Amino acid sequence: MMKVKLITIAICVVLVALGAGNVPAQNGDKMTDKGPDKYAKDTESVDSIIAALYDSISGGAGVERDWDRFNNLFVEDARLIPVQKNPQTGILRAVTLTPKGYVERSGKFLVENGFFEKEIARKTIKFGNIVHLFSTYEGRNKESDEKPFLRGINSIQLLNDGKRWWVVTVYWQAESPDNPLPKEFLP
């Protein structure tokens, strides 16, 4: 009897070491089949999830965003990481946010001021079920604004779980006078 218990414990230790039973759930276990997803078209392809990412944060002043749509794009432990410069020291740092933290930090500003962000160029690398892309963006307060007030690069990591695409990380830096966008990342 003791031998059977030891073998059972050994098998459990091996399974834990191999990661069995340790697959993280995505946004409240959305990776399981829960029926039709009203945002399913957003996650069918790399192109559709990137378009949905930009579209979900974009809108005119006074227009509420569909934060359920935004949140649906991300794995459970996703991160949004802007690079920011300390105005006093000039030192750059990465600020790590969850999708919920991004909404809490930026949602009110986006609605009050209007914000339209669009992709203007992309470099993509794919291996198996993972994709990394550099997505060059422009930001405007109104779609009709002649010139953007903001440009930069989003470094975006995606995962395809076999059923749909997920955003794992969005890590970005805005263009600045001392850090202009390189020509290879422009259209």
Residue 15 lies in a domain: no
Residue 135 lies in a domain: yes
pLDDT (mean) for 98-113: 96
Domains in the chain: how many in total?
Answer: 1
CATH number at 127 reads: 3.10.450.50
pLDDT at 16: 37
Residue 81 lies in a domain: yes
Average pLDDT over the chain, rounded to an integer? 86
CA distance 50 to 106: 19
Residue 13 lies in a domain: no
Nearest alpha-carbon partner for 118 in 65, 41, 52: 52
pLDDT at 33: 42
Q: What is Dmax (Cα atoms) for the chain?
A: 78
Whole-model pTM over 0.75: yes
- Given a cut of 60, whether residue 6 has pLDDT beyond it is no
- Given a cut of 50, whether residue 35 has pLDDT beyond it is no
